[in-house]
Every structure is written in C-alpha cells, then in structure tokens.
Chain A
Amino acid sequence: MLPLEGMRVLDMTQIMAGPYCTMVLGDLGADVTKIERIPGGDDTRRMGPFVENESVSFMMINRNKKSLTLNLKTEKGKQIFYELAKKADVIVENYKPGVVKSLGIDYETIEAMNPGIIYCSVSGYGQTGPYSHKGGFDIMAQGMTGLMSMTGEPGGRPVKAGIAMNDISAGVTALYSILAAYVHKMKTGVGQYIDVSLVESGLVWSVWESAAYFGAGEVPTATGSRHRMNAPYQAYKTKDGYVLVGGANQRNWEKFCKGVVERPEWIEDPRFLTTVERVKNVDALEQCIEEIFIHETTAYWVNKLDQAEVPGGPINTYDQTLNDPHILARGMVQEFEHPKAGKMKTLGIPAKMSKTPGQIRMAAPMLGQHAEEILSQDLGYTQEEIQQLRENGVI
C-alpha cells in the first residue's frame, strides 16, 4: 500500500521543477496524468541522450505517470481537460503567469467546477510582485537569490551550483505545500491555490547566510569549500587529491586533534580554542592541517577519520557515487523496463517509509501512451469518439 493512493493529479508542467514534484507524488502512490501539448509534448523529450529515440532525460523524472496529449487550444480539448479537472484533487502547472488564464484553465475557472481542487502554480518569480511577468529559469534564480555570489572561490568568476538547485527547491516546495493542502482538504473538503516560485524557494535555503546578514550585517561571499560558521569544515589537500572533514562541534574537533592529526596540543591553542576562534583563524588552521594531510593519501585520511569517529569522506566523481556499496545497499540505483528503450537504470527513492515505501511502478510514458486508456476508462469516451478526437488533432 502507498500513502497517496487515491490522490489524482493532473500535471501540466514540463522540464524539471513541476515534473520532479509530480514524480515524487507518483512514487508515493498518487495517480499522475501528464497532459502534454501537440505536437512534441514536454520539452525534455527533445533532450538527449536518446535510446531507441526516447529521451533518457525524460525517463529520469517522469516515471509513475501516464501521458495524455491534448490540444488545449481547441474547444473539445478544453472540454476534456475540464472533465479531468472535475475528478482531480491536484493540478500542477508551470506556465508563465497569465497564460492559464488566457487558455481558460486557471484556478478560478477550475474552482467553479471543482471547489476542492488544489491548484499549484510553479513559476520563475511568482504570480505577484514586480517581476511576475518575467520568464525565469533555474539559473536566473541562482543569480537572484545570491547563491552564485556565495559559490566559488573568493574573488573568482561567479559559479553556479553543480545542478539545477532552484528548480529542485521549487519542485520540493510545491510538493510539501500540496501535501499540506491535501491534509487540509481531507479534514475540511476545501481546496486552494498555491503560488510557488523558483526565486523564493531558493532564497529560503540561505539559513546561515541570513543569520550573518540580519544578525551582523555581513554580506556572505564565496567561501570555496569552507563552511561559513564552522571550522574545520571543508576540503583539505592530500597527497593525491582532497578529503572532506566535517568537525562541526567541539567534541569532533577534539577527536580530530587527538585521533586524526595527532596534535592534542591544538586543543589548547588559543587560535583554535572554540568554533568562533577557529572560524576567525581559518587560514592558519587550513595551513596547519594541510601541512600534515599532504603527506598521505585521501584513502589513508578517510580511514583515519572513520577510526576516530570524526565525520569525513572523499570527494566522489559521479561514477564513484553510483557504484558506492552504501548507495547500492540503500537501493538508490534501480532498474526498470521501458516499453521501448528496454532495461534502464534510474535513481531510487530517498525517503524509506517502513509501512508504505515509495515504489517505481512504471517507466516514464511514451508521448500520449495513455490517451486511450484515460479517455475510455476514466471519462467514458467510446472508441469512435476517441478516433474522431485523434483525427481532429484534439488528442
């Protein structure tokens, strides 16, 4: 049994933020119908790499969904959408603000026919405020939130986070908001509108940074691999690479001095006495540690940190990560059968629930794969009617 069984989701989103949100809902048991435009569908379907002409990028974040291609610019297409919307609990969309209104599929229209609907809009800048009309992607959000000004080496060219961090943060923010609204709906029967943006979802991740800014007026800058408020907490150079040390509290620092670098006298060193002192003298601390670390390999230091029970680890490349015995033991790499591409691997489910674990029930759909199933089984269209809709370019 899955926790969200019975929840019906209409997904009008594409690319990453929205599809990530609806994928997780699907993993947890929701029935997700992805409505794709004619022709072409979700833009991700044109992103490589391809296997048997099917996009693997699309496969990675569209599992556990059905695909229905629908031309929302035709009256009949709109009609079908309304029929589906009347039966849905949740609608997720990521058009530029204003577009759903002009298509006649906005919250007010849907609410009039289904007052319990939870309608979530994900956009670059939100539905209100001076920038709401602008289009916004992840990278603009990384620039606007200040994240890029804090990533990279001090004084260097601004660097973005390795992945589309603010797409993901918007997707997950949409996800927990939808679930909270669903809890409210279960208790009261009342639906609502949810407005989520990339630039805000990303902003609230800057916790220590806002503490420094609001608490002391400091503007956080790029710190390379260092933590802003803790030390030693960064990557250190070794004989053959780098090793990460996470000595985030006094107990770990003391274990580090005694058990890892074997410099117990550092514990009493006035420069390194407390977290506050160590952050103030982080350059000196880095130099002291690297003078020792440089003589041995990363593997040696990882082992030594483990033995001393000080959090630490290597900096993996992606293939090392996905072949790591721990990652494999936790089921984070899964294999599934795609109707066209055959056996493919994908990333697993990170939240392990004891009674209702998430499941990969089906591969990402081919474009329009479930049009017939949804129209005939869910909405009661006859074979002839479906044929007619196809010929008219509605589905």
Chain B
Amino acid sequence: MGALDGLKILDLSQILAGPYCTMVLGDLGAEVIKLEKLNGGDDTRQMGPFVNGESTSFFQINRNKKSITVNLKTDEGKEVFYRLAKEVDVIVENYRPGVAASLKIGYEDVKKINPGIIYCSISGYGQTGPYSHKGGFDLVAQGMSGIMSMTGEKGGRPLKSGVAVYDIGAGITAAYAILAAYVHKLKTGKGQHVDLSLAEIGLPWFAWEAAAYFANGTIPTATGHRHRALAPYQAFRTKDSYFMLGCGNQRNWEKFCIDVIDRPGWIRDPRFIDNKMRIENIEILEKEIENVLIEHDSKYWIERCEKAGVPAGPINNFDEAMNDPHYLARDMIQEVEHPVIGKMKMVGIPTKLSETPGEIRSASPVLGQHTVEVLSSIGYTEEELKKLEETQVIGKANIDGKL
C-alpha cells in the first residue's frame, strides 16, 4: 500500500521540475497520468543517451506514470482534458504564465468544472511580479538567486552547482505544497491554486547567508571547498586525493587534534581556540592541517577519523557513488524492465517509510502507451477513439495500446 493511494494526478509538465514532482508523488502511491503533446511528447524524450531509440534521461524521472498523447489545440482534445480534469485531485503544469489560460485549461477554467482541484503551476519566475512573463530555466534561476556568486573559488569564473538544483528544488517544493493542499482538501473539500517559481524556491535555503546579510549587510561570496561559518569543515588535500572533514563543533575539533592528527597542542593554540578564531585563521589552519595530511592517503585519514568519531568521508566520483556498498545496501540503485529499453538501472527512493514504503511499480512509459487505457476508463468507446486518432486529436498508441 502506498501512502498516497487514491490520489489522482494529471501531469501536463515536461523536462525536469514538474516531472520530478509527479515522480515523487507517484513513488508514494499516487496515480499519475502524463498528458503529452502529439509530436514527440515531453522534450526530454529528445535528450540522450538513447537505448533502442528511447531516452534514458526520460526514463530516469518518469517511472510510475501513464502516458497519453492529446492535442490540446483541438476542441475534441480540450474535451478529453476536461473529462480527465473532472476525475483528478491534482493538475501540475509548467507552461509559461498565460499559456494555460489561453489554451482554456488554466486554473479558472478547471475550477468551474472541479472546485476541489489542486492546480499547481511551476514557472521560471511565478505567475505575478515584473518578470512573470519571462521564460526561466534552472541555470537562469541559479544566476538570479545569487547562488552562483557563492559557488566556486574566489575571483574565478562563476560556477553552477553540479546538478540542476533549482529544477529539482521546484519539483519537491511543489510536491510538499500539493500535499499540504491535499490535506486541506481532505478536511474541507476545497481545492486551490499553487504558484511557485524556480527563481524563488531556492531563496529560503539561504539560512546562514540571509542571517549575515539581514543582520549586518554582509554579502556572501564564493568559498570554494570551504564552509562559510565552520572550520575545519571542508575538502582537504592528502597524499593521493582529497577528502571531506567536518568538525562541526568544538568536541569534534578536539577529537580531531588528539586522535586523528596527533596535535593536541592545537587545542590550546590561541589561533585555533574556538570556531570563530579558526574561521579567522582559516588559511593558516588549512596549511597546517594539510602539512600533516600530505603524509598519508585519503583512505588512511578517513579510517582514522572514523575510529575517533570525527565526521569525514571521501569525495566520490559518480561511478564510485553508484557502486558504494552503503547505497547498494540501502536499495538506492534499482533495476527496472522497460518495454523498449529493456533492463536499465535507476536511482532509488530516498525516503524509507515503514508502513507505506515508496515503490517503483512501472518503468517510464513510451509515448502514448496508455492513451487507450486511460481514455477508455473515462468512457470513450473504441469507435470514438479511432475517430480521435484519425483526426489527430490523440496520438497513435503503441506497445500495449490497441489502436
């Protein structure tokens, strides 16, 4: 049993933010119907790498969903949409603001036929405000929010975070907002519109940066491999590579001095006496520590830290991460059978619920795989479906669709 069994979602979104949201909800048991455009569907289907002609990028974030292809620019296609919209609890879309309304599939249109609908719009800048009309992607949001000015080495070329943090961030912000709205709906029967943007969702993540800025106007800059407010809490060079050390408090620092690098004298060294002094003298601290660490390789130091109970760990490349025994033991790598791709691996589910664990029930759908199934379930006859296909209102079903 999934925690969200019975929750029905109509997903109009594409690429990453929206699909990530609906994947998370699907993993937890929601039924997700992905409505795609006729020519090619979700843009991610064009992104490599491809296996047997199917996109493995699409495969990674569209599991546990059904795909139907509908042309929303035709009246009959709109009719299909309205009939589905009446049946579902949640709609997720990521059109540029204004587009859904002009297609007559916006919140106001749907509310009239289903007042309990939870309609979530994900956009670059949100539905209001001076930039609302602009298109925005993850990278543009990384630039706007200031995070790029905090990432990288001082004075270097601006860097983005290694993964699409704001796309994913928008997706999971949408996921929790939808669930809160669903709780409200279960209690009152009322739906609502949820408006969130890539440019905003990352802002509340700046807890420490906001504290410094609002308290005394400090503008945070890039700190490279170091923490802004804690030391030593960063990557250190060893004989063979780098590793992460995290002395987040005084106790860990003292254990590190005594049990890891055998420099108990540093505990009373006025330059390193507390976190504040260690931050102030970070350059010299880093140099002193690396002078010791350079004698052995990373593995040696990580083991010593572990014995001493000091938080430390390796800097994995992705290959190492994907083969790490801990991830494997925690089911974070799963293999799924896809109708075209065949057996393919994917990243698993990060939250472990004891009563209603998340589940990968099906691989990502091929384009339009469930058109016939879904439309039949809301009352379309075989004849009507044939007609809709001939007039290109719905796409040709393949694999297990019958048309």
Inter-chain CA distance A345–B206, complex, in Å, is: 13
Partner of A20, one of B135, B207, B324: B207
Q: Which residue of B lies closest to A127 (CB)?
A: B352
A208 and B57 contact, CB distance less than 8 A: yes
B159 to A151, Cβ gap below 8 A? yes
Q: How far is the CB of A218 from chain B (nearest CB, A)?
A: 8
User: Contact between A162 and B225 (Cβ–Cβ < 8 Å)?
Assistant: no
Name the residue among B47, B153, B344 with the largest chain A CB count within 10 angstroms. B47
Could you list 5 further interchain pairs (A-B, Cβ under 8 angstroms) beyond the known A195-B352, A210-B318, A351-B201?
Answer: A134-B313, A137-B246, A164-B205, A235-B157, A351-B173
Expressed in whole angstroms, the Cα–Cα distance for A127 and B181 within the complex equals 30
User: Which of A20, A181, A244, A252 touches B3 (beta carbons < 8 Å)?
Assistant: A181
Interface of chain A residues 213 through 228 with chain B (CB within 8 A): 213-216, 218-227
Please choose the segment from A76-84, A311-319, A367-375, A387-395 that sits at the chain B interface, where 4 or more of its residues have CB less than 8 A away: A311-319
Residues of B within 8 A of A131 (CB): 326
Chain B residue, CB-CB nearest to A233: B139
Cα of A192 to Cα of B3 in the assembled complex, Å: 10
The distance from the CB of A333 to the nearest CB of chain B, in whole angstroms, is: 8
A199 to B325, CA, bound (A): 13
- B33 in the interface (beta carbon within 8 A): no
Evaluate contact between B351 and A194: CB separation under 8 angstroms: yes
Contact of A215 among B143, B316, B344 (CB under 8 A): B344
On whether the beta carbons of B235 and A180 are closer than 8 Å, the reply is no
Inter-chain contact B184/A144, CB cutoff 8 Å = no
Chain B residues with Cβ below 8 Å from A175 are 176
Cβ contact of B329, chosen from A129, A179, A210, cutoff 8 A: A129
Partner of A145, one of B130, B207, B316, B356: B316
Which residue of A15, A130, A146 has the most chain B CB atoms within 10 A of its CB atom? A146
Q: Is the CB of B353 within 8 A of A348?
A: no
CB proximity to B under 8 Å, residues A98-147: 124-131, 134-140, 142-147
Report yes or no: A163 in contact with B206, Cβ–Cβ below 8 A: yes
Whether A330 lies near B128 (C-beta < 8 A) is yes
Q: How far is the CB of B193 from chain A (nearest CB, A)?
A: 4
A360 to B154, CA, bound (A): 35
- 11 A/B residue pairs, CB under 8 Å, sorted by A: A147-B161, A149-B315, A149-B318, A159-B152, A186-B183, A193-B355, A203-B347, A208-B47, A225-B158, A244-B142, A349-B204
Neighbouring B residues of A129 by C-beta, 8 Å: 325-326, 329-330
Q: Which of A54-62, A64-72, A265-273, A378-386 contacts B (4 or more CB under 8 A)?
A: A54-62
Bound-complex Cα distance A24 to B311 (A): 28
Contact between A146 and B316 (Cβ–Cβ < 8 Å)? yes
A318 interface neighbour in B150, B153, B180, B314, Cβ under 8 Å: B150
CA distance A203 to B326 in the complex (A): 12
Residue among A56, A147, A199, A352 making CB contact with B162, cutoff 8 Å: A147
Partner of A150, one of B3, B163, B356: B163
Q: B interface, by DSSP: helix, strand, loop or mixed? A: mixed
Which 8 pairs of residues, A with B, have the shortest CB-CB distance?
A150-B162, A215-B56, A162-B150, A192-B355, A179-B179, A246-B137, A215-B49, A351-B177
Report the Cα distance A193→B317, complex, angstroms. 32
Chain B residues near A86: list those with CB within 8 A. none
On whether the beta carbons of B48 and A329 are closer than 8 Å, the reply is no
Contact of A203 among B156, B197, B225, B327 (CB under 8 A): B327
The answer to whether A246 and B162 touch across the interface, beta carbons within 8 angstroms, is: no
Q: Using a CB-CB cutoff of 8 Å, which residues 305-337 of chain A contact chain B?
A: 306, 309-322, 324-327, 329-330, 332
B28 within 8 A of A: yes
B296-318 CB contacts (< 8 Å) to partner A: 306, 309-318
Question: In the assembled complex, which residues on chain B have CB atoms less than 8 Å from the CB atom of A359?
Answer: none
Whether the Cβ atoms of A211 and B49 lie closer than 8 Å is yes
Assess A248 versus B48: contact at CB under 8 Å? Given A208-B57, A330-B128. Answer: no
Q: Does B377 contact A (CB under 8 A)?
A: no
Against A, the Cβ 8 Å flags (1 = close, 0 = not) of B84-121 are: 00000000000000000000000100000000000000
Instruction: Select which of A127, A151, A179, A353 is within 8 A of B192 by beta carbon.
Output: A353
For residue A318, which residues in chain B have a CB less than 8 angstroms away from its CB? 146, 149-150, 206, 209, 213, 219-220
Residue A94 lies at the interface, judged by CB distance under 8 Å to chain B: no
Write out the residue numbers on chain A whose beta carbons fall within 8 Å of the beta carbon of B217. Answer: 319
From the candidates B134, B145, B311, name the one contacting A306 in the complex (CB within 8 A). Answer: B134
Is B180 a contact of A128 with CB atoms below 8 Å?
A: no
> Given A213-B319, A352-B126: A139 and B163 within 8 A (CB)?
no
Query: Which of B73-81, B164-172, B380-388 binds A?
Result: B164-172
A126, B226: Cα distance in complex, Å? 25
Is B196 in the interface zone, CB < 8 Å from A?
Answer: yes
Q: When A51-B215, A317-B219 are in contact, do A139 and B244 touch as well, CB less than 8 Å?
A: yes
- Of the listed residues A4, A313, A314, the one surrounded by the most CB atoms of chain B closer than 10 A to its CB is A313
| In contact, A180 and B356 (Cβ under 8 angstroms) | yes
How many Å lie between the Cα of A241 and that of B219 in the bound state? 18
Q: Are A28 and B180 in contact (CB under 8 A)?
A: yes
Query: How distant is the Cα of A157 from the Cα of B206 in the complex, in angstroms?
Result: 24
Q: Are A151 and B203 in contact (CB under 8 A)?
A: no
**A151 surroundings in chain B (CB, below 8 A):** 151, 159-162
Inside 8 A of A219's CB, which chain B residues have their CB? 317-319
Contacts of A212 in B (CB 8 A): 49
Residues of B within 8 A of A140 (CB): 244, 246, 311-313
Across the interface, B321 reaches (CB within 8 A) one of A48, A169, A203, A222, namely A203
Residue from A161, A194, A210 in contact with B354 in the complex, judged by beta carbons closer than 8 Å = A194
A192-B353 contact, Cβ under 8 Å, with A347-B204, A356-B184: yes
Q: Are B200 and A345 touching (Cβ within 8 A)? A: no
Contact B139 A56 (CB under 8 A): no
Contact of B140 with A246 in the complex, beta carbons under 8 Å: yes
Decide if A216 touches B207 in the complex (CB within 8 Å): no
**Docked-complex contact A47 and B344, CB < 8 angstroms:** no
CA distance A10 to B191 in the complex (A): 28
Q: Give the complex CA separation of A127 and B126 in angstroms.
A: 38
State which residues 154-195 of A face B: CB under 8 Å. 156-165, 168-169, 172-177, 179-184, 186-187, 190-195
Q: Are B313 and A136 in contact (CB under 8 A)?
A: yes
